[in-house]
Amino acid sequence: MVELETPRLLITEFNAHRDAEAVYALNSDPEVLRYTGDDPFDSVEEAKQFLMNYDHYRLHGYGRWAVFLKSTHELLGWCGLKYHEHDPVDLGYRFMKKYWNLGYATESAHACTKYGFEQLNLPEIMVRIDPNNNASIAVAQKLGYQFWKIGTCEHVNDTRFYRMNQDQYQQLKETL
């Protein structure tokens, strides 16, 4: 089981019984879903079933992880890596609105990037961002991800793709 720790955060695998209610709340906020292309869950039970059937940890050894505030043990959102068959591994993050603009996305994304390059030895990680999501673009750029291309993701035709490779990470890791 993966557990990452930062000065303020604990990042770990989701637990369906513990986390379903918070995941339901996260995906019920239209502002949170605004740039994702995802539909909200219809119920806490649907969120629980999603988490119970989430098989990325077993299949790939990584996935989207729950992000908790260490001081309160409150679930803030998620951050993590996602396997794609024909594309580089994708870094993603999503947080409850009340935790926006507090540095949690950057802090957790940095930990997941570090894990991807240092523990998984990934050759490359990408970030896919809606072109209107300036906050997520800022997080990716702050971590050193470089603009790569414009493409289609989740039915958004002008998605911005950013990426970082292992060599770039090695050059940047001392400054992050």
Rg of the chain (C-alpha set): 15
Assess contact for 13 and 52: CB atoms under 8 A: no
Written as six digits, the tokens of 109 are 């994304």
Give the pLDDT score at 98: 96
Reported as a pLDDT band with limits 50, 70 and 90, residue 157 is confident
Reported as a pLDDT band with limits 50, 70 and 90, residue 138 is very high
The per-residue pLDDT for range 37-46, each reduced to its tens digit, is 889 999 999 9
Reported as a pLDDT band with limits 50, 70 and 90, residue 144 is very high
* CATH number of the 3-172 domain: 3.40.630.30
pTM for the whole structure: 0.94
Mean pLDDT, the chain, as a whole number? 95
Give the pLDDT score at 156: 72
Q: Using CB atoms within 10 A of its CB, is residue 160 exposed (0-12), middle (13-18) or buried (19+)?
A: buried
Residue type, 81: L
Domain spans of the chain? 3-172
The per-residue pLDDT for range 86-112, each reduced to its tens digit, is 889 999 999 999 999 999 999 999 999
As a whole number of angstroms, the distance between CA 83 and CA 74 comes to 27
Reported as a pLDDT band with limits 50, 70 and 90, residue 174 is confident
